[in-house]
Amino acid sequence: MNHRQFWNLVQSRWIVLVAFALVGLIAGAGYSLATPREYSAESELFVSVAGIDNTSDLAQGGAFSQQQARNYSQIATKQLVLAPVISSLGLTSSVKSLALNVSVTVPLNTSIISIVVTDSSPVGAANIANAVATSLVDEVIKLVPKKSDGTTPVRLKPLQNATPPSDPSAPNAGISLLLGLLAGVLAGLVLIILREMATTRVRSTDQILEIADVPILATVVYDRGTARSPLLKAELQSIARSEEFRRLRTNLLAINGSDSRLAVLITSSIPREGKSVTAANLAIAMAATGRAVCLVDADLRTPAIALLFGLDTTGAGLADVLASGTDVTDALQLWGSTTLSILPSGSVPPNASELIGSKAAVALIARLRQEFEVVIIDSPALLPVTDGAILASIVGGTLLVVGAGRVEGRELRRSLEALDSADGSLVGTVFNRAPARSHGRFRASYVPKPRRRLRRPPRLSPT
């Protein structure tokens, strides 16, 4: 997965990331609320050397006091310092447990000893910090040898007494929320990447081009309104979806070259990739140019065309023409005042594959090609049944609809193999329900070029 595919995946799964981020924030807030409050108080001691009279002694004394400050800091958490603190304050903790809450440091190049104590009470933290400082001073006086006059060469004096803090030092609500947010986003990223690796669903034009060696003739962006109004208006208003079907129309006609007759099969790898809506809207776009168009619903198992156009579903259709010899002119229905004629599926037959592969089907397609300038056939998906592959071997060319996030890469490969085995002519793909960002990138970086002409079906006498 390259960086662009990763970014596309993140954009397509942003809801998952937002959900995990919210969960992380809630977890961080919960941790912050559930964790007991801790308060930190700091006291400071200053180490100095007595009896310094000149500059040279001052420099040496400064270095010596810094060394001694580091030495004294090492005994501040020992028993000889902490035991008196426990006794004087009446603490119930042991020396070992108290030492865990006492942090003693010496800032770089200073003679200052910083004593930080953490406790569940702000007053307790301040009292313990001051008591540790006092006890350390007392123990240093005992440890340092005295001069003949009874004074000590090193002095340890309080520099700053600890005061009760107003705010807790832990938990830090901001850090807890930030860590929760980052953990949530990271968990979301891991989930969508693992899921993507497991499913390998096709979500970009790059994936299609890696699998299928044919041009992408159109990228139809996902539109929530399609479910309510799947068909384009006959006038093809200037909307993005209409523009893509104009583009598809132009590309198909360009591939067909000088041939004035066009026959194309619309199929997909699996159901619910949008092949029927694609076939219907392509037929509308073709009819908008004034061409005589015939849209055939050859999905005899799960027909959809008549329902999409609101046509009579009880009358004769393709199955009746193939099975009982009904004349095709009696089964065709004209859509409004357009040049689009529709051949519904008709009665649902028990032997769909046999009808689709019959000589009558071959002859019918040949006749429709003679009577119409454009013939568009909506077929079943390729993988569930053999009907689509059979039709692909009869019709001049096949257009494969690829539903974004619906079909897996292995399924797309299998459908291409099925077309190849049936000697079908795949002229291109339509990337359907694509994320909006794919539309702009497709236009900017990929202009489909014709690679093969639509193959004419066998020249048979009309029936």
Round to whole Å and give the CA distance between 44 and 158: 6
For residue 440, what pLDDT is reported? 45
For residue 354, what pLDDT is reported? 94
Map residue 109 onto helix, strand or coil. coil
For residue 236, what pLDDT is reported? 59
Q: Does domain 202-445 have CATH number 3.40.50.300?
A: yes
For residue 450, what pLDDT is reported? 44
For residue 356, what pLDDT is reported? 95
Q: Which residues of the chain have pLDDT under 70?
A: 1-2, 4-5, 51-61, 147-151, 199, 234-238, 437-463
For residue 55, what pLDDT is reported? 47
Cβ partners under 8 Å of residue 353, min gap 6? 385, 386, 387, 390
Provide the CATH number for the domain formed by 39-160 in this structure. 3.30.70.1130
Round to whole Å and give the CA distance between 431 and 445: 15
For residue 2, what pLDDT is reported? 66
For residue 425, what pLDDT is reported? 93
Task: Classify burial at 109, counting beta carbons within 10 Å of its beta carbon; exposed 0-12, middle 13-18, buried 19 or more.
Answer: exposed
Local structure of residue 226 (DSSP, 8 states): G
Which residue from 346, 304, 339 is spatially nearest to 324, judged by alpha carbons? 346
For residue 463, what pLDDT is reported? 31
Residue in the structure block whose two tokens are 């119409």 = 372
For residue 163, what pLDDT is reported? 94
For residue 438, what pLDDT is reported? 55
Domain ranges of the chain: 3-35+172-194, 39-160, 202-445
Q: What is the pLDDT of residues 101-153, one digit of tens each?
A: 999 999 998 999 999 999 999 999 999 999 999 999 999 888 887 766 666 77
Round to whole Å and give the CA distance between 431 and 249: 14
For residue 34, what pLDDT is reported? 84
Task: Classify burial at 99, counting beta carbons within 10 Å of its beta carbon; exposed 0-12, middle 13-18, buried 19 or more.
Answer: middle
3-state secondary structure 391-418: HHHHCCCEEEEEECCCCEHHHHHHHHHH
Which residue from 437, 431, 443, 441 is spatially nearest to 406, judged by alpha carbons? 431
Say how many C-beta atoms besides its own lie within 10 A of residue 337's C-beta. Answer: 7
For residue 442, what pLDDT is reported? 42
